[in-house]
A and B are shown apart, each in its own frame.
Chain A
Amino acid sequence: MPGAVSPVRGRPEPAADGAGTAAVLVAADEPVFPGHYPGFPIFPGVCVVEHVHLTALATLPKPGLRLAAIESTRFLSPVFPGDRLEVELAWQEKDGAWRCRAVAGTARGQAAAVRLRFTEETEEGEL
Protein backbone atom coordinates (compact mmCIF):
# COMPACT_ATOMS: atom_id res chain seq x y z
CA MET A 1 0.00 0.00 0.00
CA PRO A 2 2.34 2.73 -1.22
CA GLY A 3 1.22 6.22 -0.28
CA ALA A 4 -0.58 5.13 2.90
CA VAL A 5 -0.07 7.28 5.99
CA SER A 6 2.86 5.65 7.76
CA PRO A 7 5.85 6.77 9.82
CA VAL A 8 8.13 4.62 7.64
CA ARG A 9 8.97 5.26 4.01
CA GLY A 10 10.50 1.86 3.17
CA ARG A 11 8.15 -0.95 2.17
CA PRO A 12 8.90 -4.60 3.03
CA GLU A 13 9.28 -6.76 -0.06
CA PRO A 14 7.59 -10.13 0.50
CA ALA A 15 9.71 -13.08 -0.60
CA ALA A 16 8.74 -14.41 -4.02
CA ASP A 17 8.27 -17.96 -2.70
CA GLY A 18 5.36 -16.85 -0.52
CA ALA A 19 7.05 -18.25 2.59
CA GLY A 20 5.81 -15.40 4.79
CA THR A 21 9.07 -13.51 4.93
CA ALA A 22 9.81 -9.97 3.82
CA ALA A 23 12.83 -7.71 3.89
CA VAL A 24 13.25 -3.95 3.96
CA LEU A 25 16.19 -1.58 4.12
CA VAL A 26 15.96 0.90 6.98
CA ALA A 27 17.37 3.82 5.01
CA ALA A 28 19.35 6.56 6.72
CA ASP A 29 16.91 9.14 5.33
CA GLU A 30 13.81 7.68 7.00
CA PRO A 31 11.91 10.75 8.24
CA VAL A 32 11.85 9.62 11.89
CA PHE A 33 15.63 9.69 12.37
CA PRO A 34 16.23 13.45 12.82
CA GLY A 35 14.01 13.37 15.90
CA HIS A 36 14.73 9.88 17.20
CA TYR A 37 17.20 10.88 18.34
CA PRO A 38 19.22 13.98 17.42
CA GLY A 39 22.84 12.84 17.15
CA PHE A 40 21.96 9.20 17.83
CA PRO A 41 19.54 7.74 15.26
CA ILE A 42 17.72 4.63 16.46
CA PHE A 43 14.81 3.17 14.51
CA PRO A 44 11.82 3.51 16.88
CA GLY A 45 10.45 0.21 18.19
CA VAL A 46 6.98 1.14 16.95
CA CYS A 47 8.45 1.50 13.45
CA VAL A 48 9.70 -2.09 13.66
CA VAL A 49 6.12 -2.99 14.59
CA GLU A 50 4.96 -0.92 11.60
CA HIS A 51 7.12 -3.03 9.28
CA VAL A 52 5.49 -6.16 10.72
CA HIS A 53 2.10 -4.46 10.15
CA LEU A 54 3.02 -3.61 6.54
CA THR A 55 4.28 -7.16 5.95
CA ALA A 56 0.97 -8.45 7.33
CA LEU A 57 -1.00 -6.13 5.02
CA ALA A 58 1.10 -7.34 2.07
CA THR A 59 0.32 -10.98 2.89
CA LEU A 60 -3.32 -10.71 4.06
CA PRO A 61 -5.02 -14.13 4.11
CA LYS A 62 -8.27 -12.44 3.08
CA PRO A 63 -9.12 -8.92 1.91
CA GLY A 64 -10.63 -6.26 4.15
CA LEU A 65 -8.73 -7.06 7.35
CA ARG A 66 -7.41 -4.17 9.44
CA LEU A 67 -5.21 -3.95 12.52
CA ALA A 68 -7.32 -4.29 15.67
CA ALA A 69 -4.76 -4.95 18.38
CA ILE A 70 -1.11 -5.35 19.24
CA GLU A 71 -1.42 -8.41 21.45
CA SER A 72 2.22 -8.31 22.41
CA THR A 73 5.57 -6.92 21.42
CA ARG A 74 8.93 -7.64 22.95
CA PHE A 75 11.81 -5.42 21.90
CA LEU A 76 15.01 -7.44 21.89
CA SER A 77 17.69 -5.27 20.26
CA PRO A 78 17.94 -1.87 18.55
CA VAL A 79 17.71 -1.22 14.81
CA PHE A 80 19.97 1.41 13.26
CA PRO A 81 20.08 3.34 9.96
CA GLY A 82 21.36 1.11 7.16
CA ASP A 83 20.13 -2.11 8.74
CA ARG A 84 18.32 -4.64 6.60
CA LEU A 85 15.27 -5.71 8.56
CA GLU A 86 13.84 -9.18 7.89
CA VAL A 87 10.34 -10.07 8.98
CA GLU A 88 9.16 -13.66 9.38
CA LEU A 89 5.42 -13.84 9.75
CA ALA A 90 2.79 -16.57 10.10
CA TRP A 91 -1.01 -16.16 9.96
CA GLN A 92 -3.48 -18.09 12.05
CA GLU A 93 -7.26 -18.01 12.26
CA LYS A 94 -8.98 -18.89 15.51
CA ASP A 95 -12.54 -18.19 16.62
CA GLY A 96 -13.13 -15.86 13.69
CA ALA A 97 -10.15 -13.62 14.48
CA TRP A 98 -7.00 -13.44 12.38
CA ARG A 99 -3.69 -13.22 14.18
CA CYS A 100 -0.16 -13.03 12.97
CA ARG A 101 2.96 -13.87 14.88
CA ALA A 102 6.18 -12.36 13.63
CA VAL A 103 9.84 -11.98 14.39
CA ALA A 104 11.80 -9.06 12.97
CA GLY A 105 15.57 -9.17 12.93
CA THR A 106 18.75 -7.60 11.63
CA ALA A 107 22.18 -9.08 10.88
CA ARG A 108 22.89 -8.72 14.63
CA GLY A 109 19.95 -10.89 15.68
CA GLN A 110 16.30 -10.62 16.68
CA ALA A 111 15.01 -7.07 17.08
CA ALA A 112 11.39 -7.71 18.05
CA ALA A 113 8.82 -10.44 18.52
CA VAL A 114 5.33 -9.23 17.65
CA ARG A 115 1.79 -10.62 17.79
CA LEU A 116 -0.93 -8.65 15.98
CA ARG A 117 -4.68 -9.21 15.77
CA PHE A 118 -6.70 -8.21 12.73
CA THR A 119 -10.42 -7.80 12.28
CA GLU A 120 -12.78 -7.38 9.37
CA GLU A 121 -14.10 -3.86 8.93
CA THR A 122 -16.88 -3.49 11.49
CA GLU A 123 -19.00 -0.75 12.95
CA GLU A 124 -16.70 -0.40 15.93
CA GLY A 125 -13.94 0.77 13.67
CA GLU A 126 -16.12 3.32 11.90
CA LEU A 127 -15.13 6.95 11.93
Chain B
Amino acid sequence: MITVAGIKRVLPHRYPMLLVDRVDDLVPGERLTARKAVTANEPWYQDLPEGADDREHAYPSVLLVESWCQAAGVLAAWDLPNPDVLTGQVMLFGGIADVVFHHPVLPGDVLVHHVRLVRSFSDTVIFEGEAAVDGRTVLEIGRVVMAMRPATELTAEQPAVSTKEIG
Protein backbone atom coordinates (compact mmCIF):
# COMPACT_ATOMS: atom_id res chain seq x y z
CA MET B 1 0.00 0.00 0.00
CA ILE B 2 1.20 3.51 -0.80
CA THR B 3 -0.22 6.25 1.42
CA VAL B 4 -0.86 9.83 0.41
CA ALA B 5 2.60 10.83 1.67
CA GLY B 6 4.09 8.32 -0.76
CA ILE B 7 1.89 9.58 -3.59
CA LYS B 8 3.12 13.13 -2.95
CA ARG B 9 6.69 11.95 -3.39
CA VAL B 10 5.73 10.88 -6.93
CA LEU B 11 3.16 13.44 -8.13
CA PRO B 12 3.51 17.24 -8.21
CA HIS B 13 -0.25 17.76 -7.66
CA ARG B 14 -1.32 19.32 -4.36
CA TYR B 15 -4.52 20.44 -2.64
CA PRO B 16 -7.11 20.95 -4.06
CA MET B 17 -5.94 19.09 -7.16
CA LEU B 18 -4.37 15.99 -5.61
CA LEU B 19 -7.10 13.51 -6.45
CA VAL B 20 -5.59 10.16 -5.43
CA ASP B 21 -5.72 9.17 -1.76
CA ARG B 22 -4.16 5.73 -1.65
CA VAL B 23 -2.57 3.12 -3.90
CA ASP B 24 -3.61 -0.41 -2.94
CA ASP B 25 -1.67 -2.36 -5.52
CA LEU B 26 1.12 -1.46 -7.92
CA VAL B 27 3.00 -3.71 -10.33
CA PRO B 28 5.64 -1.47 -11.97
CA GLY B 29 5.28 -1.23 -15.73
CA GLU B 30 2.06 -3.21 -15.62
CA ARG B 31 -0.92 -2.15 -13.48
CA LEU B 32 -2.16 -0.23 -10.48
CA THR B 33 -5.21 -0.05 -8.25
CA ALA B 34 -5.81 3.19 -6.38
CA ARG B 35 -8.63 4.90 -4.56
CA LYS B 36 -10.02 8.36 -4.14
CA ALA B 37 -12.68 9.21 -1.57
CA VAL B 38 -15.16 11.81 -2.77
CA THR B 39 -16.48 14.28 -0.21
CA ALA B 40 -18.85 17.24 -0.22
CA ASN B 41 -16.03 19.09 1.54
CA GLU B 42 -14.10 19.61 -1.70
CA PRO B 43 -13.98 23.24 -2.88
CA TRP B 44 -16.06 22.50 -6.02
CA TYR B 45 -19.14 22.18 -3.80
CA GLN B 46 -18.79 25.66 -2.37
CA ASP B 47 -21.12 27.49 -4.77
CA LEU B 48 -23.80 24.82 -5.02
CA PRO B 49 -27.15 26.45 -4.20
CA GLU B 50 -29.15 25.40 -1.17
CA GLY B 51 -31.74 22.78 -2.06
CA ALA B 52 -29.66 21.11 -4.82
CA ASP B 53 -30.72 17.48 -5.34
CA ASP B 54 -28.51 14.38 -5.41
CA ARG B 55 -27.96 14.56 -9.16
CA GLU B 56 -26.68 18.11 -8.77
CA HIS B 57 -24.15 16.86 -6.21
CA ALA B 58 -22.58 14.52 -8.77
CA TYR B 59 -18.79 14.77 -8.77
CA PRO B 60 -17.61 16.69 -11.88
CA SER B 61 -17.06 14.26 -14.77
CA VAL B 62 -13.76 15.83 -15.77
CA LEU B 63 -12.42 15.39 -12.23
CA LEU B 64 -13.24 11.68 -12.37
CA VAL B 65 -10.98 11.61 -15.42
CA GLU B 66 -8.32 13.75 -13.72
CA SER B 67 -8.31 11.47 -10.68
CA TRP B 68 -7.95 8.38 -12.87
CA CYS B 69 -5.16 10.04 -14.87
CA GLN B 70 -3.29 10.93 -11.67
CA ALA B 71 -3.48 7.26 -10.66
CA ALA B 72 -1.99 6.43 -14.07
CA GLY B 73 0.63 9.08 -13.36
CA VAL B 74 1.69 7.27 -10.19
CA LEU B 75 2.20 4.10 -12.21
CA ALA B 76 4.10 5.97 -14.95
CA ALA B 77 6.36 7.85 -12.55
CA TRP B 78 6.91 5.12 -9.98
CA ASP B 79 10.33 4.18 -11.33
CA LEU B 80 11.35 7.78 -11.90
CA PRO B 81 9.50 10.03 -9.45
CA ASN B 82 9.68 13.77 -10.01
CA PRO B 83 7.30 15.80 -7.84
CA ASP B 84 8.79 19.04 -9.21
CA VAL B 85 7.26 20.42 -12.42
CA LEU B 86 10.08 22.88 -13.03
CA THR B 87 13.00 20.50 -13.50
CA GLY B 88 13.84 17.20 -15.11
CA GLN B 89 11.23 15.17 -16.98
CA VAL B 90 7.56 16.04 -16.47
CA MET B 91 4.43 14.10 -17.38
CA LEU B 92 2.13 15.67 -19.92
CA PHE B 93 -1.16 14.29 -21.10
CA GLY B 94 -1.14 14.23 -24.88
CA GLY B 95 -4.56 12.77 -25.42
CA ILE B 96 -7.55 10.98 -23.97
CA ALA B 97 -9.98 8.85 -25.96
CA ASP B 98 -13.07 6.71 -25.48
CA VAL B 99 -13.94 7.83 -21.96
CA VAL B 100 -17.48 6.78 -21.02
CA PHE B 101 -19.39 7.97 -17.95
CA HIS B 102 -21.82 5.31 -16.73
CA HIS B 103 -23.14 6.53 -13.39
CA PRO B 104 -22.93 9.68 -11.31
CA VAL B 105 -20.46 9.60 -8.41
CA LEU B 106 -21.66 11.20 -5.18
CA PRO B 107 -20.05 12.46 -1.98
CA GLY B 108 -19.37 9.45 0.25
CA ASP B 109 -18.44 7.25 -2.71
CA VAL B 110 -14.98 5.73 -2.87
CA LEU B 111 -13.67 5.52 -6.42
CA VAL B 112 -11.48 2.51 -7.12
CA HIS B 113 -9.31 3.14 -10.17
CA HIS B 114 -7.99 0.22 -12.18
CA VAL B 115 -5.13 1.30 -14.42
CA ARG B 116 -3.42 -0.97 -16.95
CA LEU B 117 -0.33 -0.02 -18.90
CA VAL B 118 -0.99 -1.00 -22.51
CA ARG B 119 2.17 0.08 -24.30
CA SER B 120 5.31 1.91 -23.42
CA PHE B 121 7.68 3.66 -25.83
CA SER B 122 10.81 5.60 -25.01
CA ASP B 123 8.99 8.71 -23.82
CA THR B 124 5.31 7.83 -24.22
CA VAL B 125 3.07 5.54 -22.18
CA ILE B 126 -0.46 4.40 -23.06
CA PHE B 127 -2.99 3.38 -20.40
CA GLU B 128 -6.50 1.98 -20.25
CA GLY B 129 -8.84 0.91 -17.48
CA GLU B 130 -11.91 1.81 -15.49
CA ALA B 131 -13.13 3.14 -12.19
CA ALA B 132 -15.70 1.50 -9.93
CA VAL B 133 -17.73 2.41 -6.86
CA ASP B 134 -18.78 -0.54 -4.69
CA GLY B 135 -17.90 -2.88 -7.56
CA ARG B 136 -20.04 -1.04 -10.12
CA THR B 137 -18.18 0.48 -13.08
CA VAL B 138 -18.80 4.23 -13.19
CA LEU B 139 -16.12 5.23 -15.68
CA GLU B 140 -14.42 3.50 -18.59
CA ILE B 141 -11.14 4.81 -19.98
CA GLY B 142 -10.36 3.59 -23.48
CA ARG B 143 -7.00 5.28 -23.87
CA VAL B 144 -4.84 7.83 -22.12
CA VAL B 145 -1.56 8.87 -23.74
CA MET B 146 1.06 10.31 -21.43
CA ALA B 147 4.32 11.80 -22.63
CA MET B 148 7.45 12.45 -20.61
CA ARG B 149 8.98 15.73 -21.70
CA PRO B 150 11.75 18.02 -20.40
CA ALA B 151 10.24 20.60 -18.03
CA THR B 152 11.92 23.32 -20.08
CA GLU B 153 9.49 22.59 -22.92
CA LEU B 154 6.64 23.66 -20.67
CA THR B 155 8.31 26.59 -18.93
CA ALA B 156 9.41 28.00 -22.31
CA GLU B 157 5.75 28.31 -23.36
CA GLN B 158 4.77 30.34 -20.35
CA PRO B 159 3.93 33.95 -21.21
CA ALA B 160 6.46 36.52 -20.03
CA VAL B 161 4.16 38.15 -17.48
CA SER B 162 3.68 34.92 -15.56
CA THR B 163 7.36 34.09 -15.70
CA LYS B 164 8.02 37.22 -13.70
CA GLU B 165 5.54 36.10 -11.09
CA ILE B 166 7.28 32.81 -10.44
CA GLY B 167 10.63 34.61 -10.48
- A contact residues vs B (CB 8 Å cutoff): 2-7, 9, 31-32, 34-42, 44-47, 49-50, 53, 67-75, 77-78, 80-83, 108, 124-127
Contacts and interface: CB of A to CB of B under 8 A. Distances in A.
B110 interface: no
Given A34-B16, A36-B17, A73-B96, A124 B102 contact: yes
Contacts of A49: 62, 65
Interface size class of B (residues with CB under 8 A): 35 or more
A34 B12 contact: no
Given A3-B48, A73-B96, A37 B12 contact: yes
B99 interface: yes
Nearest to B15: A35
Contact of A31 (B18, B43, B154, B155): B43
Interface string B69-104: 100000000000000011000001111111111111
Contacts of A124: 102-103
Given A3-B49, A31-B16, A32-B16, A80 B159 contact: yes
A42 B17 contact: no
Given A49-B62, A72-B96, A82-B161, A39 B86 contact: yes
Contact of B85 (A32, A37, A44): A37
A45 B63 CA distance: 11
B86 A82 contact: no
A69 B100 contact: yes
B62 A69 contact: no
Contacts of A6: 44, 60
Interface centre among A2, A72, A82, A83 (most CB of B within 10 A): A72
Q: Which are the 6 A-B pairs with shortest beta-carbon distances?
A: A35-B17, A46-B62, A70-B99, A35-B14, A36-B17, A46-B66
A6 B42 CA distance: 11
Nearest to A33: B17
Given A5-B44, A124-B102, A77 B13 contact: no
Interface string B10-26: 00111111100000000
Given A71-B97, A108-B157, A44 B14 contact: no
B101 A67 contact: yes
Given A35-B13, A80-B159, A82-B162, A126 B43 contact: no
B47 interface: yes
A75 B65 contact: no
Given A4-B56, A34-B14, A35-B14, A50 B62 contact: yes
